[in-house]
Amino acid sequence: MSSLGWGGLSVLLLLLLLDRASPTFISLNHGMRVMKGSSAFLSEDDLKFAIPKGEKDACKVEVVMNEPITQRVGKLMPQVFDCHFLPNEVRYVHNGCPILDEDTVKLRLYRFTETDTFTETFTLRVYLMEPDCNIIRMSSNVLEVSEFYGLSRAIDKNLLRFDYERTAGLECTVRLDPLRTRLPAHGQMVVVEPRPEGPRGDQPHSFFPQSRQEEFLGPGE
């Protein structure tokens, strides 16, 4: 056999030995599904480890932070949790950004035994689903700004409304998060003071303006 053939065989054997020497502690990693703008808890149907329960050896999972291509539109919390996490313990919170349909979380597993510490780094995929927007009613009208630094018309019920059963104790709020979502991209939402309404036709008008009335009545009267 040629030297090239022996070299290729040696590399193959080395790769096989490395693969057998580095077993994975992950038995299932299907990723999790989260509605955009909402949150969801991680379950064993999403992520499961091949570590029997009840062992005295500790096993922890750490969320690797400050990774530029991970957790772009959400966050997995808490930062450290047990490998045998509870059903309502670990959750992913989406920040509402509608652009991406998928996110990635980088995780690092620590397996502590009496003599050694094993680590394994892996990624968890987060599939972002479109939310059920049956309470949102949007018209076909659009907001237009005619000039730079101009204002659009007000957002009112003719443009956007929320159709839900209003009951006591039920709150419906709209939250903007421009720091995380970078939206709006070319402007900002502002609150404009409503214009005072003029007198109605059935209201009597005073013969004197307000300043003249104060002169007649005197200060404090």
Total of domains in the chain: 1
**pLDDT on residue 15:** 46
Task: Give CA separation, 131 vs 96, 98, 121, in Å.
Answer: 10, 10, 31
**pLDDT on residue 220:** 52
pTM of the entire predicted model:
0.57
Residue 221 falls within a domain, yes or no?
Answer: no
**pLDDT at residue 54 tops 50:** yes
Residue 209 falls within a domain, yes or no?
Answer: no
- CATH number, position 107: 2.60.40
List, for residues 144-201, the tens digit of each pLDDT value. 898 988 888 888 888 888 887 777 777 788 888 788 777 888 888 888 777 666 666 6
Residue 17 falls within a domain, yes or no?
Answer: no
Mean pLDDT value across residues 98-125: 93
Write the DSSP symbol of residue 110: E
The range of the structural domain enclosing residue 28 comes to 23-129
Residue 169 falls within a domain, yes or no?
Answer: no
Residue 98 falls within a domain, yes or no?
Answer: yes
How far is 42 from 81, CA to CA, in rounded Å?
Answer: 11
Q: φ, ψ for residue 212 (rounded to 5)? A: -70, -35
Residue 31 falls within a domain, yes or no?
Answer: yes
Residue 217 falls within a domain, yes or no?
Answer: no
Residue 62 falls within a domain, yes or no?
Answer: yes
